[in-house]
Amino acid sequence: MKTFRHYLVLIGLLLTVAACKKDKDNEPSRTDMLTSKGWLLNDMNMRVNGVTGTYTVPADEQYTYRFTSDGKGTMEEADGTNENLTWSWQNNQEVLRVTSSGDTYDFQVFTLSKSSLSVGFQLNQQQIKDDANAGGGTLLYFALLYQAFTFPPNAPKLNDINTLTDLQLQVNYQAK
């Protein structure tokens, strides 16, 4: 009788493992999630030395990305203007490369699900110093955006590069 119970437990475990694998096989791919709907810009977060500020994008500044499975897409602005783009996955689908109007951007993918997409940039302390030594293009971009975000009173400022340990800009989209 004991042996029979062991076989039942073993069969139950095998069925559970098989069912879990089947569920995982049915999950949509990252490309399927990205291309199955449009992505409406909702809000942005900026983290400076671990302190996060937020910015809610006004409706007249929102835009929608639409990606197609053939590596093309559009950016639809709130005023109805459309801009064509191309896109591709980089770095094992952790980076979304978008080319539009001759400019190419590599966005780190923080979140991609059926209902949300979050992409952006992240710099550690060494990358911040390297950027500053190269002319500060990325830091200037962060500094210009910083003014629009709402930060708590204890938030560090971007005016002293030597005190910056990390910067992250996260752009959040919701499925449309």
List the chain domain ranges.
30-175
Residues 6+ apart with CB under 8 A from 12: none
Class at the top of the CATH hierarchy for domain 30-175: mainly beta
In the predicted structure, residue 89 carries a pLDDT above the cut 60? yes
In the predicted structure, residue 95 carries a pLDDT above the cut 60? yes
Mean pLDDT to the nearest integer, 120-138 = 87
DSSP state for residue 150 in the 8-state scheme = B
| Angle of CA points 126, 143, 138, to nearest 5° | 45
DSSP bridge pairs for 72: 86
DSSP state for residue 20 in the 8-state scheme = H
| The predicted structure's pLDDT at residue 24 | 57
Q: What is the pTM of this model?
A: 0.80
d(C-alpha 23, C-alpha 40), whole Å: 29
Mean pLDDT, the chain, whole residue set: 86
Higher local confidence (pLDDT), 42 or 156: 42
